[in-house]
Amino acid sequence: SAESAASATEPSAHDPIGHLSSTMLEGHVAFITGGGSGINLGIARAFARCGAAVALCGRTEERLAGAAEELRGMGAQVAYKAADVRDPEALQASVDHAVSELGDISITVAGAAGNFFAKAEEMSSNAFRTVVDIDLMGAYHAAKATFPSLQKTRGSILFISASQAFKATKYQAHVGAAKAGIEMLMQDLAVEWGEHGIRSNSLVPGPVAGTEGMTRLAGPTGDDMWKRAVPLGRYAETEEVGAMAAVLAGPLGAYVTGSQYTVDGGLGLVGSGH
Ligand code: HXC
């Protein structure tokens, strides 16, 4: 698999989440869209490590079940109910299930995303719309469905963004449009929901080893040229993104809202390598 290919060639930097406090997120309930795999599962692991209960939402029931088993193995309380974030009613049902199993949500991670390379003039209208629907509309649906909980818990939302939101990228017009929309949604909610004590931030990951996004953009073994372009000279581990997510979304980030936090090994300073 891409995961084993990546880990065979990539030394693990260290134990990125081992340094986190095991009580930092005690009493917190996190709802994570796209939480069954990739970066969002890394975030779920970090939250579990910090003592949070974790609710996973994704399209594939079996994938969620596997992730839930792993997180329970870490000692976390876990709930999951499959939903496509493009379907607001299904997403609401997944949120309702999470609340009934684990209690009110205090951290929402809007992480579900779709991506493929396509020329702007060649992709269908439906192709463009599909990515906007998953990334931007899905993020809005997740924020809205968890708002009543977040209002009660004075919680926070973390949007998973991408460099494409800020930097024009060939064959990523659909993704850039969707992620740029997410960045503004993040800021609008920070302003609008600040009075409820709800914080809203975005996290901008760079290339992360063993994720579907990387497989799609750099090929299953990763693109060495791209890797060399990263100032730190390697791709991230999902848990390295997760560790920063735990800091931003949890109590350590109590005065951080309307902000974007980049976790990209410095890649944004030197270009994407393409
Ligand atoms: C052109 C494409 C295409 C491609 C799909 N389409 N793939 N067009 N090039 N490679 C078109 C289809 O033809 C169709 O249009 C429309 O998009 C919808 O496709 P479906 O397959 O019906 O959609 P669906 O089954 O809902 O799948 C959604 C998906 C898929 C986005 C297309 O790739 C997916 O499920 N992805 C989720 C996983 C993922 O991508 N993770 C990576 C996220 S990484 P027509 O007109 O034919 O109906 C990320 C950050 C990247 O977001 C940053 C990394 C640095």
pLDDT tens sequence across 77-127: 999 999 999 999 999 999 999 999 999 999 999 999 999 999 999 999 999
Query: Taking the model in full, what pTM does it have?
Result: 0.94
pLDDT score at 220? 64
Q: Counting every residue, how long is the chain?
A: 274
pLDDT exceeds 50 at position 10: no
DSSP string, 247-272: HHHSGGGTT--S-EEEESTTHHHH--
Q: Which residues on adjacent β-strands are paired with residue 31?
A: 55, 108
Q: How far is the CA of 139 from the centre of ligand 1 (A)?
A: 17
Q: Identify whether 161 is a catalytic site residue.
A: yes
Lowest mean pLDDT among 14-18, 79-83, 147-151, 202-206: 14-18
User: Under CATH, domain 2-13+20-265 is a member of which superfamily?
Assistant: NAD(P)-binding Rossmann-like Domain (3.40.50.720)
Q: Which of 156, 161, 163, 202 is catalytic?
A: 161
Give me the interface pTM, i.e. the ipTM: 0.96
Q: Identify whether 170 is a catalytic site residue.
A: no
- How many Cα neighbours within 13 Å face the side chain of 52? 30
Residues 145, 147: Cα–Cα separation, whole Å: 6
Which of the four pLDDT bands, split at 50, 70 and 90, describes residue 32? Answer: very high
Which of the four pLDDT bands, split at 50, 70 and 90, describes residue 271? Answer: confident
Q: How far is the CA of 205 from the centre of ligand 1 (A)?
A: 20
Which of the four pLDDT bands, split at 50, 70 and 90, describes residue 252? Answer: very high
Region of residue 209 (phi > 0: left; psi between -120 and 50: alpha; otherwise: beta): beta
pLDDT score at 13? 54
Q: How far is the CA of 72 from the centre of ligand 1 (A)?
A: 31
How large is the average pLDDT for residues 175-202? 98
Ligand 1 shell residues, CB under 6 Å: 113-116, 118, 123-124, 126-127, 130-131, 134, 162, 207, 212-213, 216-217
